[in-house]
Structure 1
């Protein structure tokens, strides 16, 4: 019972730290000291340490010998590599989901897209002005999209790569990403291809969806504070 309680505390602390990193509360290069974080999240330094250790394998936190934990600085070349891996991983996951997914999976996906379509996109959330509800809904949609593959390791990798990409988007100057892209239409086209069981088209649309985001970031560049000292 005690172990379960600690695991629950770690999970909830990870969720809080992740949210704060992805909404810009913790900046790239910023140290994540155990004692202040324990006070901030009202838990123990042991729970914070374990949370950060788990997060250090998922791109949002780095653990440097003798320097402790911090949010990583960002680079555009690293983003391009992350996106390549993300596209390959989710191409496989989506192909398998279309092959293995049943009507319940389809219905769940359509419901997630419907909720996202009717969720206010702008409002209190991250520093780009995207609402927290919309950000959560978008993440849920992409999780469900590949969930029928039934491979937990693949789902975990996709989740981590999505968070990493979100961090880059947050610290870029790509305001057009939040204001002018027709994300609802892009999602609708992917869902239609899935329902038609057209794996080739669905994979192509998903890859174009991700590449479009990365191209905007590459074009806009990263804020100097995210790149770090020269």
Structure 2
């Protein structure tokens, strides 16, 4: 009798653990899918995210969707608005300026540490990422006034590879989060056909500084690059905010 009870208990525990694991996997999948949809621009800034609609689309419970949206709210990708519900975080001139200021601080530190600690393998990875970026068309084939989404992905890759040798997983995580927040702005606002050539020149200069071990020079180029990117987007936000207040 005792052995039978122990067997039943073990089976119940196994079943519970399996269901818990499946639940965690499902939650993670829905979270990852929603996150990717926001970062790739499938959900636009300020777009309302209806829990019931997302639940039906993903074939999961309302609680699974709410948990995923709350996680995204913790990452400041989603906002929970009173009497309105969840929505993709909106864009603002004030937030853009703050975002790029903090990126400058964090990425300058990460780049300096990477140059100081990086080895030949890291340099090779940076060169390869730069080559992939340079081999990708900057302008979208569908709209010559907008950036190519593939180029944006290569640009993000190059940026993260540069910082990867910093030696701090926590610092790298902050770099990644700020870069993802910036990508939302870039996908929505950045019509860089006019300055694409200048950006490419800066990438070449940045790579050379890294290979030369010139941390000060690399940081200067990086900050100039960020400033130019920010300034290309800022007028659109200012104009939009003025129009909304009129």
Interval containing the TM-score (normalised by the shorter chain): 0.7 to 0.9
TM-score, normalised to structure 2's length?
0.78
Q: CA deviation at 1:219?
A: 3.1
TM-score, normalised to structure 1's length?
0.83
Aligned counterparts of 1:171 and 1:184: Cα–Cα separation in 2 = 21
Q: Provide, for residues 141-174 of structure 1, a one-character-per-residue CA deviation record: whole Å limited to 9, x for no partner.
A: 11111011122222222222122222223333x5
Q: Which residue number corresponds to residue 58 of structure 1?
A: 75
Aligned counterparts of 1:208 and 1:98: Cα–Cα separation in 2 = 18
Contact 1:73 1:228 in 2 (8 A): no
Contact 2:147 2:187 in 1 (8 A): no
Give the number of the structure with larger relative contact order, counting CA–CA contacts within 8 Å between residues 6 or more apart. 1
1:32 to 6, 25, 49: 49
Does 2:196 match 1:181?
yes
1:146 to 151, 155, 163: 163
Aligned counterparts of 2:59 and 2:224: Cα–Cα separation in 1 = 42
Question: Unaligned regions of 5+ residues in structure 1, if any?
Answer: none
Q: CA deviation at 1:206?
A: 0.7
Aligned counterparts of 1:200 and 1:222: Cα–Cα separation in 2 = 32
SS at match of 1:63: strand
Structure number having the greater helix percentage: 2
CA RMSD of aligned residues (A): 2.9
Aligned counterparts of 2:144 and 2:58: Cα–Cα separation in 1 = 21
Q: Which residue number corresponds to residue 218 of structure 1?
A: 234
SS at match of 1:56: helix
Contact 2:149 2:187 in 1 (8 A): no
Q: Which residue number corresponds to residue 124 of structure 2?
A: 107
Aligned counterparts of 1:212 and 1:181: Cα–Cα separation in 2 = 11
Contact 1:110 1:191 in 2 (8 A): yes
Total equivalences in the alignment? 227
Q: CA deviation at 1:125?
A: 8.5
Aligned counterparts of 1:186 and 1:169: Cα–Cα separation in 2 = 17
What are the residue-to-residue correspondences of 1:1-230 with 2, within 5 Å? 6-64=23-81, 67-123=84-140, 129-172=146-189, 174-175=190-191, 177-182=192-197, 183-221=199-237, 224=240, 230=245
- With 63-72 and 153-162 compared, the bigger mean Cα shift is at 63-72
Q: CA deviation at 1:199?
A: 0.5
